[in-house]
Amino acid sequence: MAGKRVGILALQGAFLEHESAFKRCGAQTSLVRRAEQIKTLDALVIPGGESTAMGTLMTRFGLDQAIISKARAGMPVWGTCAGMILLAREVVASKQPTLGLMDIAVRRNAFGRQVDSFEAELVIEGIGITRGVFIRAPYVERVWGETKILCEYQEKIVMVEENNLLATSFHPELTETLDIQKYFLQKA
């Protein structure tokens, strides 16, 4: 795990918390704001934030095509909350820009508004029991192709994996545990 170069998309959202968590895992981190930075990475995290704003900025700066190209070549990419939405092939009832990399249909703000935020114990396949922080969180309504469901909460899909891609509707970076970060680093 040590020495892996993990980029964290730093256009908007909770990128500093991801950077801190990966540093605690011993990974090298890089805050990504330019398309050329993608070439040097072993893995990329797309953090939570405002998915429409992040999608627009990714397109404006050419990051979308750089991420798509590198992900299709096998680079691991993990999207949390808004990042999950941006990885999705479909966003229910929305025409917002996405990367369209994962065979999932996502519903935005599915657990309610900011005031409805909560923390819950989750059981994740291949990882075990951990905590998840849900803030205006989406959930996956449907998966297809090679996408695997790793976790459900209240019968809603909240964590999925498709080959080199990982997506969580919750925020592991806001807890003390590093189980999911370590799981992701094994992909790099």
- In this structure, what token pair is assigned to residue 76? 């691991």
The full length of the chain comes to 188
Residues designated as active site: 81, 171, 173
Confidence (pLDDT) at 4:
83
Query: Are residues 142 and 104 in contact, defined by beta-carbon separation less than 8 angstroms?
Result: yes
**Considering the entire predicted model, what is its pTM?**
0.95
For residue 34 the two structure tokens come to: 């330019």
> What are the residues facing 131 on neighbouring strands?
121
SS3 (DSSP) at 141: strand
| Per-residue pLDDT tens digits of the chain, which is 188 residues long | 457 899 999 998 889 999 999 999 999 999 999 999 999 999 999 999 999 999 999 999 999 999 999 999 999 999 999 999 999 999 999 888 899 999 999 999 888 777 778 999 999 999 999 999 999 999 999 999 999 999 999 999 999 999 999 999 999 999 999 999 999 999 88
Q: Using CA atoms, how far apart are residues 108 and 92, in angstroms rounded to an integer?
A: 7
Tell me the DSSP string of 142-165: EE-TT-EEEEEETTEEEEEEETTE
Q: In terms of CATH, what superfamily is 5-185?
A: Class I glutamine amidotransferase (GATase) domain (3.40.50.880)
Dist. CA 181–CA 20, nearest whole Å? 11
